Structures are given as C-alpha cells and as structure tokens.
Amino acid sequence: MSAPGRAPPRILAIAGSDSSGGAGIQADIKTITMLGGYAMSAITAITAQNTLGVSAVEALSPDMVAAQIDACLSDIGVDAVKIGMLGSPAIVHLVAARLEGLGVPVIFDPVMVATSGAVLADGETIAAFGRLMALATLTTPNLPELSALSGMEVRDEPSLAEAAGHVMRTFSAPAVLAKGGHWPGGGMPAPDGARQRPDDVVIDCLYALSPEGGRSERAFRHERIDTRHTHGTGCTLSSAIATLMGGGAGLEEAVAGARAFVRRALLAAPGFGAGHGPMGHHALR
C-alpha cells in the first residue's frame, strides 16, 4: 500500500469488462483501490456474464482501446500496467505498440478461458501474445494457458519448469509465474501417477531470468482454500502484483504480497451466485 502523504501508484488496467463484477476490469479496479493504488482503465471488450458463464462478448475497436490508453498516459501518467483479456489480435498488437519503451512494470495475464470455461481468446489472438510476453515484466499463465503457450503437456513439476522455460526462450519473456491452482486438488502428480504434493497444497512457481543470464526459480506454497468462489482470481492476482510493483516492491515481494491478498479475498467471499462466485474484495479495507 502507498504510505500516508505519498501519491498512490498509478495503475493502468487494460482488460475486458465483467458485467457481474467478479473478474475483469471490475476486479482490477477493486484490487488496485484496496491496495492503495490509483486505478485507471482501458476496456478492451464488453462481456455479459455471471457466476454461471459468459453469454455474450463484444470487442471494442482498436482505435477506442488506443484512445483510452493515450488519454491516461498523456495526462495522469502510469507507474505500472496490468493486461488481461484483449479480445482480438489487432488489440494485442495495438497494446504492445503503446507499451513498448514505457519503462514501467507490465504484468500480463494471458486470459484465454474464463473460470466458467468460456473461451475468451481465439487461436489468432493467442498467437499474437508473444509480442506482449517479450515486453512484460511478468507473464502469469495458469496451467492450461501455459500448456497452450508452450505447446507442451504439463504433467508434473519437471514438465512445468520445462514448459515455462520454453515460453521464456521462445518469446523472450523475462519472467513467468506458473499458477498451480488447476492441478486436481492443487497437488502436482508425479510422472508415475503418485502425488508429489498433498491435495491440500497449492503451488505457484516463479521463473525469472537472473542478471547473470541464468534462471531463478521460487515456489510459493499455501494450503488450498476449499471454495467455489474463485471467479476473478487470475485478474486479482495480476492487478495486485502490478499495484505492488508500481509502489516500488520487487518482483518476488510483489508476487508474495499479491498471493496473500488473493487468499484473503477468497476467505472473505460473500457467497453470491449459483456458480463460480466472486471473491470478497470489499471486505479487505
């Protein structure tokens, strides 16, 4: 959070709108605000959705997305950027062009599929993601997204590291946070089918290029929270990392702090909806 008397970090969220408020730009704005940042937005698409799924998606024009970004950068300025759902290949390339050389932390959540299972990025859009991964400070795929980006099956921790390394080499991505919540029960299966991790543990693995040219690795482990109210976890995590880095935190510190924020929001879920319900951002004041 920003210290008393200091200006809040200016965070630009570039993402789609979730009409039910649990994910997308709505989750970004709640997260940034709760963490003491100043939230700005460039909306890329409008969705009609709730906890049961996405019923309609309409992408905005690239020109309108560009106008929103330019309006924010030219006047307010920015200390960090979070990128979520983009909607079309043209918007991907437009966003990349606007952010190249900006010189602030950029956190890219490569949104492909909603929590409900709705597809939010087609193959052409996913193919364009490489340009963003190269300029982003951190890319935050979940396991299905990591498999899609790497073209590799992720079965266990060695294949997780291999897939992340492949993404980093192929797309010149400086850092990847592989989110492990999609493993059955949160544990990671060993190649022989045995459990390497207990079912009640969730593991996220951060891989980052070191100044010496090697690759560092850090695993973040926490007990699994048994809840169906997980709508917007990826959006919340990435915008929290952006806010903390915009306020001056280093990469590992920001990831740790953002994970703690997500856990608190999961525990504070209000219980809304009949499907994958929203988290409790409102309770973290």
The catalytic residues are: 179, 230, 232-235
DSSP code of 184?
G
Q: What distance in Å separates the CA atoms of residue 245 and residue 216, rounded to the nearest whole number? A: 19
Contact between residue 149 and residue 167 where contact means Cβ atoms under 8 Å apart: yes
Distance CA 40, CA 17 (A): 13
Q: Give the closest residue to 96 by CA, choosing from 200, 14, 197.
A: 14
**CA atoms within 13 A of residue 23's CA, in its CB half-sphere:** 31
Reference 42, options 80, 86, 108, 77; nearest CA is 86
Q: Looking at this protein, which amino acid is placed at residue 44?
A: T
Interior angle at CA 83, CA 88 and CA 240, nearest 5: 155
CA–CA gap between residue 199 and residue 17 (Å, rounded): 33
Would you call 187 helix, strand, or coil by DSSP?
coil
